[in-house]
Structure 1
Amino acid sequence: MTILVLGGRGKTASRLSLLLHNAGVPFLVGSSSTSYVGPYKMTHFDWLNEDTWTNVFLRASLDGIDPISAVYLVGGHAPELVDPGIRFINVARAQGVNRFVLLSASNIAKGTHSMGILHAHLDSLEDVQYVVLRPTWFMENLLEDPHVSWIKKEDKIYSATGDGKIPFISADDIARVAFSVLTEWKSQRAQEYFVLGPELLSYDQVADILTTVLGRKITHVSLAEADLARLLRDDVGLPPDFAAMLASMETDVKHGTEVRNSHDVKKVTGSLPCSFLDFAEQEKARWMRH
């Protein structure tokens, strides 16, 4: 069995690739990058270029590895990627793939939009087995701009979440769940896992943890949705529509949409997910002032 890992250099796919490599599991990385340099077998994959889809399976054949029988399916949440996602699933089925692991999100139910539509499509196919992973917000988001710059330069976290809480999850734990599912496949027809962290935290609580870890006061600045959208647009430079979408998602959190509990990480992997405190201790150098 060879596993195709899409989203090659993304947060979860890169970590999954390392786990598969270390375990000696045959896999092939599909990446939109044409300049990939690394220890893994890689092939170019572009959601908007169907020629690259069939080339993935040709590459596996030319490399003399076992045929691809499972796919870690990572796409964007943009509406324009839904139809290509459905078509790729059908192409993969025609090539003999009968197992899919779809990375979706905690707030995207089956059949609603983006990855939820792919979820529904997989569910409609009686000849495939699939697992859908529904993680919540990544801890690693705080290691990227604009958050990392706000924390390092201003000692602040800006959000429109108010006192809404999120069960933040590490990308390492998402990758561990994906690895376990792909390498220890149970004979289920369909399965859905909520991949959540061990605790519900508001950004006030996140700021308190960072204060303790970093040894300087970090403050959460609570903004109205419109003000956050303006900040993301004017100061950070995000496109207006994208800034508005992110601000709207944070307002949803304010209203409790991410207040969830799940033991699925422990159920699948046998160990608890990382706490935000442990994550912050591991990554504190990223927020330190130099």
Structure 2
Amino acid sequence: MAGEVILVTGATGNIGRVVVEQLLAAGQRVRAAGQTAESVKRMFGQRVEAIAFDFTDEMTWPDAFHGVQRMFLMRPPHLGKPKKQIIPALEYARARGVEQMVFLSIQGAEKNKVVPHAAIEAWLRTSGAAWTFVRASFFHQNLSTTHLTDIRDRDEIMVPAGRGVTAFVDGEDVGAVAAAALMNPAAHRNTAWTVTGNEALTYEQIARILTVELGRPIRYARPGIFRYFWHARRTLGMPWGMVFVTAAIYTTARFGLAGELTDTVQQVLGRPPISFADFTHRQHEIWNPAPTANETK
């Protein structure tokens, strides 16, 4: 199996990057797919086979799936219509011999039919391929990417989760679980893993942890759903598809449906998950960038 090539979609993203690095560390051959081959090469150099891939562009499919039996599947956030925008590429992949698909899904996808992940899971179950669902809870990294400017520039967290708790998880842990499934298909065949950290937190608690780490007050704004729509579109610049998906995810927390914890990380990786406090310490400079030379004059 070590001689086979493994395709990783979304290779330059928070989770895809971890999957690639884990596979490379284990001596696997990796075909890393991103928006452009150049962006992949900038991240991984010559250690991977770098390709451009687009689920909606049939011209990119042959090079991506040729000779591939195992793949990591990540839905690009802006593709909100999986039956039209993603599944045709997966049908092509299956017809070309892809036998295992490890899919980055979300916690509760089996209960929340609104999210696009549910349709992809349903297709995979009947595809004839071996599947593994890595159902991640809310990523720590969403606060250092999607909501970076809110925290860094406005000292606030603007998500419509109410007082509900969320089972946060670190992308490093999620990517490592996905890589483990790719490297040992038999042990993870047709299995749905829900991957969480070991603590469920409210956004008030998240704000307090950030306040301590960053040394300045961070406020949880607790917006309603329509205020969040406005903020996500006008301030964060999200496409509408991403606005609706993220709103659905936050609403599950608001209704008390996002706090379930699992021991998947310990079970699969043999170590405890990374805590949110550890993550904030590791990423401190993202929210507290060092002043530039001009700013210090």
1:109-258 correspondence runs (5 A): 109=110, 112=113, 114-126=116-128, 128-145=129-146, 147-187=147-187, 189-239=189-239, 242-243=242-243, 246-258=246-258
**Shift of residue 111 of structure 1?**
9.2
- Paired amino acid for 2:116: S
**Shift of residue 150 of structure 1?**
2.5
Query: TM-score, normalising length from structure 1?
Result: 0.87
Q: Determine whether 1:41 maps to 2:49.
A: yes
- Pick closer, same or farther for the CA change 1:75–1:246 going to 2, 3 Å: closer
**Shift of residue 246 of structure 1?**
3.6
Which runs of 5 or more structure 1 residues have no equivalent in the other structure? 59-66
SS of equivalent residue, structure 1 residue 186: helix
| Cα distance in 2, alignment partners of residues 182 and 242 from structure 1 | 28
- Pick closer, same or farther for the CA change 1:244–1:74 going to 2, 3 Å: closer
Corresponding residue number in structure 2 for 1:63? none
Q: After superposition, give the CA deviation of every residue in 1:128-154 in whole Å (9 maximum; x if it has no partner).
A: 311011101111111125x32222233
- Pick closer, same or farther for the CA change 1:18–1:156 going to 2, 3 Å: same
Which runs of 5 or more structure 2 residues have no equivalent in the other structure? 292-297
Corresponding residue number in structure 2 for 1:23? 26
Corresponding residue number in structure 2 for 1:272? 272
**Shift of residue 248 of structure 1?**
4.8
CA contact (8 A) 2:8 2:20 kept: yes
- Pick closer, same or farther for the CA change 1:272–1:234 going to 2, 3 Å: same
**Shift of residue 86 of structure 1?**
2.6
SS of equivalent residue, structure 1 residue 168: strand
Q: After superposition, give the CA deviation of every residue in 1:187-212 in whole Å (9 maximum; x if it has no partner).
A: 56410000111100111000111122
SS of equivalent residue, structure 2 residue 268: helix
Query: TM-score, normalising length from structure 2?
Result: 0.85
**Shift of residue 167 of structure 1?**
1.0
- Pick closer, same or farther for the CA change 1:184–1:212 going to 2, 3 Å: same
| Cα distance in 2, alignment partners of residues 111 and 252 from structure 1 | 9
1:62-141 correspondence runs (5 A): 67-76=67-76, 78-109=79-110, 112=113, 114-126=116-128, 128-141=129-142
CA contact (8 A) 1:167 1:259 kept: yes
**Shift of residue 88 of structure 1?**
2.6
Query: What is the percentage of aligned positions where both structures have the same residue?
Result: 26
Corresponding residue number in structure 2 for 1:64? none
CA contact (8 A) 1:152 1:288 kept: yes
